[in-house]
Structure 1
Amino acid sequence: MVTRLTPDDASFLELESSSSPVHIGSLAIADNTSGALTYENLVDIVSQRLCLVPRYRQKVRQVPFGLARPVWVDDADFDVSYHIRRSALPNPGTDEQLFELVARLSSRPLDTSRPLWEIYLVEGLSDNRVAIFTKSHSALVDGADALEIGHVILDASRQPQELADDLWMPMDGPTESALAMTAVAELLTNPGQGMEFLRRTAGGVGETARTVERSLSRFVSALHTATRATPSSPLNTDISHHRRFAAARTNLADYRKIRARFGCTINDAILTVLTGALRNWLFSRGEPITESSTVRALVPMSVYVSESAADQSSEVSSFLVDLPVGEPNPVIRLSHVSHANAAHGRQRRGVRARTLVRLSGFAPASLHAMSVRSAFEYAERAFNLMITNAPGPQSPMFIAGARMLEMYPVSPLLKNQALSIGLTSYDGSVFYGFHADRDAMADVDLISTMLYESLEELLDACA
């Protein structure tokens, strides 16, 4: 089936550069003591469930002369083994070695001549563990009609759910002349398409996709920042195409304790803990900090599930919040964050999306993708960093029979953003993924270490 890319999908392809690949990453670590999760079993699971994410067997095809946005077409030469790859660490591999590998893999852009995704099975981890790292282009995952591959390969039990055999056959793609004729017909019947084509040819690649986004960005940024300038920060700088990755694992019970003590939300507690970590990191760099110093974060993740079983819809909301890194008292920091979140909750603008929970109900990877898409609606330099937060199930999940122990988001870096933070709650824990530019953030490990200190500081205040 041939489907034209939406304006958002096309903009992600056009805006991507070698230093800013915009694929969504996810790192899962599983207990493979039983040896159930092998490369062959992973290929079987993915192959069986590709029918649930049909776009993962499609590639992007350009329209001649740029007459219209590209189209999705079936990949006649689709080879699942090309997309599912095998890697290994020197046994016994450490978490640090795994994170270094993830950083290198996330640095590499996806091959745009093929379906825009990859999965890596990483063996050799200590304690009989294996890791699965997935990469899916942001143009591929919209959270509504197209889900992230990690959404459907997990099961709620050790025994993988069986699906009917998928007898997929690729459809023949259109000829170059057919693509051109269809585009010309659209130009003649749709004036808006004609204006888009004129802007694209006159203003260069990417200008059309950003025209509407920039006007929205100016309005949204003005609404949420009340004309205040974005704080100066070492988090905003030119970035390279090399990456670093660090992670932290904390107990969800700790945030519940903070919520019960101070009457805030768990999200308030999480943002306050991150604020304390960023404060200490800035001090470690010798950055000048006053009591009024802030770091502006884009927080594009709030999920609301409809009570109607027939309409399992969700909403992804984006807002800017100034994290009070200059405030030395953790309780007052929490108060500031809680107040700011409550205020934004009353003027939240959302993007509707249908979360199709086909197998397990585990949706964080798809929701993180929706968050990143939402972030692109904001103007450049409107914020210092992006923080995405997606809830996960509080019961064990399994990959080809192996129990998943940890799940870390790997959110892409936006232009001039040296750090992106993603977090997911799962099975009683909150997992943080710190994805950073290799040159600008050589000390990203410090932030993960200081996060534990910040959490302990807030827990002490509970006493």
Structure 2
Amino acid sequence: MDHLSGSDAAFLHLESPETPMHVGGLAILELSADYSGDFMEDVRKHIQERMHMAPIFQRKLVNMPFDIANPIWVMDEDIDIEYHIRHVIVPPPATRNTVDKLVARLHSSLLDRSRPLWEMHILDGLPVPDELPKGTRYVGLYSKMHHAALDGMGGQVLMEAIMDVSSIPRPPRKRIRRRESNNGDNYGIAELAASGVMHNISQSIKLTKNLPKLTGKAYDLIKPARNADGSKAERMNWLAPKTPLNATITNQRSFARFSIPHAESKEIAKLNNVSLNDVVMAISGEGMLRYFADEGLSLDENMLAAIPVSVRPEGNTELSNQVSMARMSLATTIKDPLARLKAINASSTHTKELMSDVKSIMPTDFPSIGAPWLVSSIASTLTRARVANSLPPFANVLISNVPGPNITLYFAGAKQVSTYPVSIPYHGMALNITLQSYNGWLDFGVISCQKLMPDIYELAQHMKEAYKDLLKLSIAAQAKESGSTKKPS
């Protein structure tokens, strides 16, 4: 049986109507002026022919008897393609904001757990740039897939299955006929229970072996960071300062997006001798500071960012989630943006060093006896008792940087112009900033709770301006340094 790992199942158990645990994306697709087909039908045919190439399309859940352990995956050969792929007209007048609001609404609803955990929505009526030839169409592809069913490796498998490098889709890989003995979801109660018990025993043994090391590393990950010389890093505290975004959320979402040139972002990193991810953190932190300043809020402590870190061993190709969560300082008490960038780099370096030691022992699967009802009860309590409103946050914001291809891709014959991530906010961390690199650009998707952040587009604008300012300051600092090192003639 194909058991969900502990980390995969956690996304299921932590889910509630207020906190859907699916990830998504908004791809902007371009159809040329001479296209005369039915794109909706093209998409359905394209996916149907490639379903066997990505497990997420046909895997669905079967729960264990009495929820004694995590569910298992089974294959569903009877897919209702019209349910999973839907057509939506953007309400006129179609603007960037109306598209983003539509995506936010679509992202608010839960996926149906009786079916494979994915949906695609074709958004028609998107605005088209004036400089494109008359008759050119922009179409949106909003997709959402449950995080329990899709991690980074699964995302790569999915992209390889449905994307092409030319406008003429390649022939799909030949489907392999399944054996007649496949039980599907017809397992008996005794068979399911026995499998769950054996799986838990094996995971208990593995966890027991690594528990002493894990305890020490967990302490290192949450304690205040230190600089290379051993001194305490720039006011990195055990817990993050409280902001209006570190509270209990509702099921309604607000979403905004923007893009910045990849080359210019790398230039900022090169000029300051830091990583591209450090630049992303600096842009995000500055954008949040400006947003809070508009609200009349100032912070006396550094904001902290939670960052997903892959713990996947070299060569591992399993489709389960193999990721942990670390945190780093955004050094927001430092006023000078370039000095702040250096402090962010010191914090991220410290985090990378710790996580490199953890990879070999970090469990992604663990005993699950009673986990479904226990973790679900905790998630329900977080919502009903509004615990996040009173507790200090572990971090202020979740920031994730997803590497993508630096070439033009096509979907069902349509050219992909950009691809914006649409991710997961949660209680106590209502803001999620995720970006993906694509074809020379960094595409940012910023999502939050509509009640806590109805004006999220203002944050996106502040972040974009922060990037421009950081680029100017970096170039000016480099020019000044070069000028001061020149020998007098």
For the superposition of Structure 1 and Structure 2, which TM-score range results when normalised by the shorter chain?
A: 0.7 to 0.9
> What is the CA distance between 1:409 and its match in structure 2?
0.6
Does the CA contact (< 8 Å) of 2:153 and 2:317 recur in 1?
A: no
In the alignment, residue 393 of structure 2 is paired with which amino acid? Answer: R
**Aligned partners of 1:89 and 1:97 also within 8 Å:** yes
Please tell me whether residue 184 in structure 1 is matched to residue 194 in structure 2: yes
Deviations 1:356-405 (CA, angstroms, capped at 9, x unpaired) = xxxxxxxxxxxxxxxxxxxxxxx993211110101111111111121111
Say which is worse superposed, 380-389 or 249-258, in terms of deviation. Answer: 380-389
Q: Secondary structure at the match of 1:300?
A: strand
- For 2:78, what is the secondary structure of its paired residue? coil
Residues 108 and 309 (structure 1), Cα distance of their counterparts in 2 relative to 1, 3 Å cut: closer
Question: Partner residue of 2:455?
Answer: 443
How many corresponding residue pairs? Answer: 414
- Structure 2: where are the runs of 5+ without partners? 129-136, 206-210, 226-235, 361-390, 477-489
1:300-359 residue CA offsets vs partner (Å, 9 max, x unmatched): 2569996x9999xx985642111122322111111111121122222224658xxxxxxx
Q: Does residue 257 of structure 1 match 2:267?
A: yes
Where structure 1 has 5 or more consecutive residues not aligned to the other structure, the ranges are 197-210, 353-378
1:109-128 aligned at under 5 Å gives the runs 109-127=110-128, 128=137
- SS of alignment partner, residue 125 of structure 2: strand
Does residue 1:26 correspond to 2:38, yes or no?
Answer: no
Taking the TM superposition and a 5 Å limit, the aligned residue runs for 1:257-296 are 257-290=267-300, 293-296=301-304
Q: Is the 8 A contact 2:56 2:118 kept in 1?
A: no
Change in Cα spacing, 1:123 to 1:421, as seen in structure 2 (3 Å) is same
Distance in structure 1 (CA, Å) of the matches to 2:317 and 2:460: 41
Residue 300 (1) aligns with residue 299 (2): no
The 2-side partners of 1:244 and 1:288 are apart by 23
TM-score, scaled to structure 2: 0.76
Change (3 A) 1:102 1:59: same
Q: Distance in 1 between matches of 2:444 and 2:39?
A: 27
Q: 1:194 and 1:167 mapped to 2: Cα distance? A: 32
1:455 is aligned to 2:462: no
Cα deviation digits, residues 182-210 of structure 1 (max 9, x gap): 413653x57738989xxxxxxxxxxxxxx
1:327 aligns with 2:338: no
In the other structure, the counterpart of 1:73 is 74
State whether structure 2 residue 243 is matched by structure 1 residue 242: no
Contact 2:239 2:395 (8 Å CA) reproduced: no
What is the identity, as a one-letter code, of the residue corresponding to 2:308?
A: P
Measured at CA, do residues 194 and 279 of structure 1 come closer, stay the same or move farther in structure 2, by a change above 3 Å?
closer
What SS class does the counterpart of residue 11 from structure 1 fall into?
helix
Give the match's secondary structure for 2:83.
helix
Quickly say closer, same or farther: Cα 1:380–1:18, change in 2 above 3 A.
farther
Instruction: State which structure, 1 or 2, has the greater radius of gyration over its C-alpha atoms.
Output: 2
Cα shift at 1:54: 2.3
1:17 maps onto 2:16 in alignment? yes
Match of 2:408 among 396, 400, 412: 396
Q: Is the 8 A contact 2:62 2:185 kept in 1?
A: no
Return the letter of the residue paired with 1:94: T
Which has the larger displacement, 334-343 or 19-28?
Answer: 334-343
User: Which of 115, 137, 146 is the matching residue for 2:146?
Assistant: 137
Match of 1:361 in 2: none
Alignment correspondent of 1:222? 222
Amino acid at match of 1:336: A
Change over 3 Å in CA distance of 1:219–1:148 after alignment to 2: farther
Q: 1:408 to 1:216 in 2, by over 3 A?
A: farther
Q: Structure 1 residues 351 and 271 mapped into 2: Cα distance closer, same or farther (>3 Å)?
A: same
Q: Residue 207 of structure 1 corresponds to which residue in structure 2?
A: none
Q: Which moved more, 1:110-119 or 1:412-421?
A: 412-421
Cα–Cα, structure 1 residues 444 and 393, in superposed 2: closer, same or farther, change >3 Å? same
The verdict on how the C-alpha distance between 1:37 and 1:168 changes in structure 2, with shifts beyond 3 A counting, is farther
Q: TM-score, normalised by structure 1?
A: 0.80
Deviates more, 1:141-150 or 1:250-259: 141-150
